[in-house]
Amino acid sequence: MMYKRALTKPDGRALWLYSRRPIDPDIVATAPAGGPVEPRSHLRWHPLRGEWVAYATHRQQRTFLPPAEFNPLAPTVDPASPTELPAGDYDVAVFENRFPTFSRDPGPVPDGTGTETAPAKGRAEVVVFTQNANASLGSLPLDQVQLVVEVWKDRFEDLGSQSDVQYVMPFENRGVEVGVTLHHPHGQIYAYPFVPPIPARELEHQQTFFDAHGRGLLQAIVAQERQDGRRIVVDTDDVVAFMPPFARYAYEVWIAPAAPLPSLAELDSGGCRALAVVLKTVLTVFDAMWDRQPFPYVMVFHQAPTDGRRHPEAHLHIEFYPAYRMPGRLKYLAGSELGAGTFTADTLPEEKAAELRAVRERLA
């Protein structure tokens, strides 16, 4: 059972509280001092790459690694110094980013941009995984991880139903190595007014495969990987975590339901639980490596667009891009990756999957 309350912050932004228990109706939404931030963001078309670039100049004012006593994601302790979240009994919270790249009312597009423009409509939300500032997603109890999955699903459905949203991407940036400015366990959701270039390209290839074979590309890969076994990290009946044979990062793990569910919307309660089990296992393995707590990564969801069409070619999955390629050695994206789009790796997915499996077995 998931309880949910929708509130509105004093500055007009939306806040949702989620819990396994009924939520006190007296909880009132808070917002940090400073008043409303007027979003100022627009899109410019990059005609050579064929993609939109988002400019959000109001983000220059955003919070940068504040001291712990100003953690804006912790529940408010002193009503005179409100944070983003109220005090009270709830488990997970979602609110509209105070410094959104994409928003409902992104403001006017400036003149003289020299290229095609559009308002940066859409949404940018923050998902706070727990009230505990010192936890991490993988360290939470399984039921709480499951609740986070249910929250992602809930937000996916709501955001996906907005007419100005074509693609919803929950993600988590974790660690200073990937630029995190707030250490409280949290993720984000970007709701784009277009299908962004990476999922667009992937869906195009998935569509071609689906048309040729009558089943999904990722479904075929999962079947093959289960048969092969070498790149599997965790496999339950319902969900599999593996390193794809074509991993670009040293510890790139993908988590996918075995069934070709296009999006979070198709996960029932059991599906959310099954995904949470494997997600928690993978995160626990990551955090047990090298005594590095937490293991830094970018985690992204890939799934069906919310463009009003059916997407049987899509297959919900999570991709992890860990920051390190070995202890103390970051993977830098440089000339070949940024300039050519060709990743270079010096390790093989087979070796790294075996390493991750060994950590999992040690923990079992």
- 161 lies in the binding site for a copy of itself (CB under 8 A): no
* Residue number, 24 or 350, with CB nearest to a copy of itself: 350
Positions 56 through 95 that interact with a copy of itself (CB under 8 A): 56-60, 62, 64
Which one of 42-50, 81-89, 151-159, 258-266 is the stretch in contact with a copy of itself (CB under 8 A)?
A: 42-50
* Residue number, 15 or 256, with CB nearest to a copy of itself: 256
- Angle at the Cα of 170 from the Cα atoms of 194 and 197, rounded to 5 degrees: 35
d(CA 120, CA 225): 39
Structure tokens at 298: 């970018």
Burial class (CB in 10 A: 0-12, 13-18, 19+), 305: buried
d(CA 278, CA 340): 34
Report the 10 Å Cβ neighbour count for 179: 10
Residue 153 CB, nearest approach to a copy of itself (Å): 18
Positions 264 through 283 that interact with a copy of itself (CB under 8 A): none
Are the CB atoms for 360 and 242 separated by under 8 Å? no
- 2 lies in the binding site for a copy of itself (CB under 8 A): no
Which element (helix H / strand E) includes 357?
A: helix 349-363
* Residues carrying an active site annotation: 186
Positions 206 through 235 that interact with a copy of itself (CB under 8 A): 206, 209, 217-218, 221, 224-225, 228, 230-231
Cα 23 to Cα 4, 6, 32, 206: the distances in Å are 7, 11, 22, 42
Residue 258 CB, nearest approach to a copy of itself (Å): 17
- 342 lies in the binding site for a copy of itself (CB under 8 A): yes
- 53 lies in the binding site for a copy of itself (CB under 8 A): yes
Residue 327 CB, nearest approach to a copy of itself (Å): 13
Residue 135 has what DSSP assignment?
-
Residue 313 CB, nearest approach to a copy of itself (Å): 11
- Angle at the Cα of 243 from the Cα atoms of 241 and 247, rounded to 5 degrees: 145
d(CA 331, CA 249): 8
* Residue number, 29 or 316, with CB nearest to a copy of itself: 316
Number of residues located near a copy of itself, criterion CB under 8 A? 84
In Å, the largest CA–CA distance within the chain is 62
Residue 159 CB, nearest approach to a copy of itself (Å): 14
Count of all residues that appear for the chain in the document: 364
d(CA 283, CA 140): 10
Which one of 3-11, 29-37, 109-117, 287-295 is the stretch in contact with a copy of itself (CB under 8 A)?
A: 109-117
- Using CB under 8 A, pick the residue from 86, 106, 185, 244 that binds a copy of itself: 244
Positions 319 through 338 that interact with a copy of itself (CB under 8 A): 319, 321, 329-330, 332-336, 338
- 10 lies in the binding site for a copy of itself (CB under 8 A): no
Which one of 153-161, 188-196, 233-241, 266-274 is the stretch in contact with a copy of itself (CB under 8 A)?
A: 188-196
Are the CB atoms for 153 and 267 separated by under 8 Å? yes
* Residue number, 36 or 335, with CB nearest to a copy of itself: 335
Are the CB atoms for 320 and 253 separated by under 8 Å? yes
Tokens 């390193």 locate to: 243
* Residue number, 56 or 255, with CB nearest to a copy of itself: 56
